[in-house]
Amino acid sequence: MEYPQTWLIVKCPAGNCEIIPSTEATGDENSEIVEKWGPFDSQGEAIARRVGLIRAGKCQPV
C-alpha cells in the first residue's frame, strides 16, 4: 500500500529551515536536525508555514 507524500520543515544548525519529504527524515543521517514541524499534506502548505516561521523568528531565510 502506498501512502500519499507528506512534507516536513526541518531546522538546521545554521538556523535556516528546509522543506523535505517526510520519507527523508526517517534515517539516522539526519542527526543534524535541530527542530522539525509537520507533516504537511502538500509542499505548498509547508512553504506557507515556513514563511510564518521566518516571520516569527524561528527560522532564518535561505
Q: Where are the domains of the chain?
A: 7-55
Residue 43: count of CB within 10 angstroms of its CB: 14
Give the tens place of pLDDT for each residue, 9-56: 999 999 999 999 998 876 555 678 999 999 999 999 999 999 999 999
Global confidence as pTM: 0.85
Q: Are 34 and 25 in contact (CB under 8 A)?
A: no
Query: Cell for 48?
Result: 506557507
Q: Are 23 and 59 in contact (CB under 8 A)?
A: no
Q: Can you give the pLDDT at residue 29?
A: 56
